[in-house]
Structure 1
Amino acid sequence: MRGIFSRSIAARLFWSAALACLVVLTLAGLALTAVYRQTAQVALDEQLNIYLSALVADLVNARDDANVEPGQLGAPQFELALSGWYWQISRLGAPPDVRTSRSLFASYLAPLPDSVSPDAQGRKRGEIAGPDNKPLRMLEREIDAGEQGRYLVQVAATTASVEAQVSQFDLALGLTFLTLALLLVAAMAVQARYGLRPLRALRADVMAVRRGKADRIFGAFPDEIAPLAAELNLLIATNREIVERARTQVGNLAHALKTPLSVLVNEAEAEAKGEGAASGTLAEKVVEQAMVMRDQVTFYLDRARAAARAGAVGVATPAAPALAAMARALGKIYARIDLSVDCPEDLRFLGEKQDFDDMLGNLIDNGCKWARGEVQVHVEAVEPAGDRQFLRALIDDDGPGLAPGRRAEALRRGRRLDETKPGSGLGLSIVKDLAEAYGGRLELGDSPLGGLRATLLLPAAA
């Protein structure tokens, strides 16, 4: 049964609702039975009080030699032996005198214990054992009859009638609640099936996407499921973008390798015909073109891995520790540079740590290469854009800077604006592509330090 609960939402809803219904109906039944029992007992007490008042009136109004006869109460149950209805009048003091109903059949009623307190009219109520040891409900009252003395007047009745009424009520209530429970269970089953219908529709839409019959999830869903459908559409779009990027990278890699391979083939054919350059020149050509191909392969592999990691879900990287580690490593390489890092401790990048290190590491390394003596790194949170949050990294150096007309060229793949600086010219291009894969961007501008400012916008974790 536990396995069913863990696998089926409908079963969870049905059985939890059925259990709640059972508990509520049980508590309601107990409460109604208690109220009905109390009502029946109050009605019995009222009937006993009527008989008690009649006996008291007869006793007070009687002459010294008068007797209170059972027939005076007008109730035949007091005439039948052990009928369950009894009265008794006892003189308190001398001479003793006890008058009883014929139904007591030579038996007597015991008085209620002194622990039972009388009400405002001097009446006591309680339970005693009857002549046949069956429980009785009794009312008694002490009466001062003047010259006749003081009397204890008692009227009792069996509680069997109350119990019989309560039993009949319980039976009727049980049948009613059973019918109600069956109707509620049926209604809950229909409700669970109807309530989960949007999930079945969502499943059908996802299956249609998987089978290629649709490119996204359509349809109007309830407010509770609409965010899930939206997230699934984003996931589908992200996967489609990853596939498209992979196809593009493969095509670009093939195109990029075509030229150096053609050069190598032409040189090899010319060498075979004896028309080529000297062997040393051929070797240099091979090395040169091989390095070009290696750089191209490395570049596109990095882009493919970055694009795949950019689609990862639920990965967050603390920015401050990662930047501190970069600053320590680059500080040893560029000991002459005053490198400062400012980043809030609670700021997190929504993505892989390796990508964060690659992007910020490339930008800080580039700044250190060109700086005269100072590089500043400042990372801050920016205002949310819709339902997404972003962080902004500012990397400033005091180097020669870059003219506005050459900044777009610097972001192009393989462009090296100064051949005296080490590198392949792929760093800024990879940072740009990776930032865009995460939904961010890279911009180059003027720095307050007089050099170049690189502004990197990336998604931040909430």
Structure 2
Amino acid sequence: MRSSGEITKPRATSLATRLFVSATVWVVVILLLTGIVLSSVYRQASERAFDRRLNLYLRTLVADVATPDEPLDRQFQSLGEPLFELPLSGWYWQVTRTDGDKPDTRSSRSLWDKKLPKLEDRGVALTAAGIRIGYVDGPEGQTLRMVERPVDLGADGKFLVMVAGDASEIFEETRAFDYYLGGTFAALSIVLVLTTIFQVRFGLAPLKRISDSIADIRSGRAERLEGEFPVEIAPLARETNALIDANREIVERARTHVGNLAHAIKTPLSVMVNEASARGGDPFAAKVLEQTDVMRDQVAHHLERARIAARLTVIATVTEVAPAIEALRRTMEKIHRDRGITIEVEADASAKFRGERQDLEEMVGNLVDNACKWARSKVFVEVRVEQAGAARAGAAFRGAAEDGPKLRIIVDDDGRGLSEAERAHVSRRGQRLDETKPGSGLGLSIVTDLAALYGGSLTLATAPIGGLRAQLVLPGV
């Protein structure tokens, strides 16, 4: 469970994903609204076509009503629609005389003994053409589309003429249209989505190219953004290159200032040392010599940190690890050849350090030199490359190093080793377990500080061959 104070980091969403989702939503909404409008328009068109058919029958009936002199066997026989003769077919007509005490009603055979409901009773108003149109329930529960017209023949009477047809024709045609419209729009949606994907990928390709180029610069495979970019992206590429150039200029100025400061401080210290050395056994001179040595160590240490911190801001610095380790092995074997120390190296040939060679040599050189001082006969150096997602050792990398490869350098010796308390003791600046061994006690602390500046770490443990194991984790490429 998360603690109450823990902040959950929102999950980032790519620009391509947001554009794709936004475009897809708009496509779906637009097609849905268009489909609703087209379906409504088609339904209205189907109703108008159906109403024209009903009005044709209505005018025929009105003409028959207006000619009462026709024989009864010939009245209302000219509609020419067989469905009016089939019982409960869904097609009906009905003529009702409304001016008498007892309304006289005549209807199509299809109605049998049923009657049609009146639109007038349902509150349907007359149109400008003098008719009423609407939907009613038929004798068998069908939904009917009906047209109704009152006819006033003066002395010949008043009549209400009604014609109704099965509205399922309208509904079925509309349903079939909706089916084909939906299929067409579904295919169109797929095409539009695929087109959107292509446009998003093609349109954002220059940004992806810039991202890859910046990653190459950071890892040392390139120094600047190169290539042609669209006019909308070109200013970003130019400003990025200008930022890289300005960064290098700032670092160069910082290096110059650090060098000047080192020279300015070392000269007065040298004068103090010379003056104190000339006074031989003077206790005050001895104290001055002691403190100037401490000052030299501290100045050297902090100037080195400043120098490394300035160099770390330089982009695109990569060092091959295996050649540097091999050069250190040869140097350390020469330095400790009087003790017969053997140094074995097992280094991944593809290992690369995201930093400058002299910093790598200083860190690894301190560890190997310390191992040679304490080893009985053997020092083993191993270099591994661990891809992103591998187990972390010590502090996590910062920035880009958190997600990139890691370089793990392991230095083992077969000396007496150190207890946990002793390992904590020697990691502090200036602390030494054995004053008979040469050195200032700053080696491990310098390695720790330099590793931290690169976003790495140094841990001490027990080596499988019996002595001390020093594990240095640095950003790789």
Is 1:160 aligned with 2:168? yes
Shift of the 185–82 alpha-carbon distance from structure 1 to 2, 3 Å rule, reads same
Is 1:91 aligned with 2:103? no
Q: Secondary structure, in 3 states, of the residue corresponding to 1:153?
A: strand
CA contact (8 A) 2:276 2:289 kept: no
Q: Secondary structure, in 3 states, of the residue corresponding to 1:6?
A: coil
Deviations 1:182-223 (A, max 9, x none): 111111221221122112110121122113333322334345
Correspondence for 2:358: none
Q: Which stretches in structure 2 are left out of the alignment for 5+ residues? A: 1-8, 314-477
Q: Distance in 2 between matches of 1:239 and 1:133?
A: 84
State the AA in 2 paired with 1:53: R
Is 1:214 aligned with 2:252? no
Over the matched positions of the two proteins, sequence identity in percent amounts to 44
CA contact (8 A) 1:78 1:101 kept: yes
Deviations 1:213-248 (A, max 9, x none): 333223343455444434433442343233223321
Deviates more, 1:16-25 or 1:234-243: 234-243
Q: Distance in 1 between matches of 2:310 and 2:21?
A: 47
CA contact (8 A) 2:262 2:303 kept: no
Deviations 1:9-35 (A, max 9, x none): 222222222222222211111111111
State the AA in 2 paired with 1:118: L
Shift of the 225–4 alpha-carbon distance from structure 1 to 2, 3 Å rule, reads farther
Shift of the 4–36 alpha-carbon distance from structure 1 to 2, 3 Å rule, reads farther
Correspondence for 1:56: 62
Please list, as runs of the form range in 1=range in 2, the aligned pairs for 1:39-438 lying within 5 A after superposition. 39-63=45-69, 66=72, 69-94=75-100, 96-112=103-119, 113=121, 115-272=123-280
Q: Secondary structure, in 3 states, of the residue corresponding to 1:125?
A: strand
Deviations 1:140-187 (A, max 9, x none): 111122442111111111110000000110110011011111111111
CA contact (8 A) 1:246 1:304 kept: no
CA contact (8 A) 1:78 1:85 kept: yes
CA contact (8 A) 1:90 1:153 kept: yes
CA contact (8 A) 1:253 1:300 kept: no
State the AA in 1 paired with 2:83: Q
Q: Distance in 1 between matches of 2:155 and 2:306?
A: 120
Q: Distance in 1 between matches of 2:216 and 2:285?
A: 59
Deviates more, 1:259-268 or 1:151-160: 259-268
CA contact (8 A) 2:64 2:75 kept: no
Q: What's the RMSD between the two structures over aligned residues?
A: 4.1
Q: Distance in 1 between matches of 2:70 and 2:26?
A: 67
Q: Which stretches in structure 1 are left out of the alignment for 5+ residues? A: 273-277, 310-462
CA contact (8 A) 1:89 1:151 kept: yes
Correspondence for 2:421: none
Q: Distance in 1 between matches of 2:10 and 2:207?
A: 18
Correspondence for 1:367: none
State the AA in 2 paired with 1:74: G
Shift of the 36–5 alpha-carbon distance from structure 1 to 2, 3 Å rule, reads farther
State the AA in 1 paired with 2:13: R
Q: Distance in 2 between matches of 1:15 and 1:63?
A: 74
Correspondence for 1:33: 39
Shift of the 261–244 alpha-carbon distance from structure 1 to 2, 3 Å rule, reads same
Deviation at 1:303, TM superposition (A): 13
CA contact (8 A) 1:126 1:137 kept: yes
Correspondence for 1:346: none
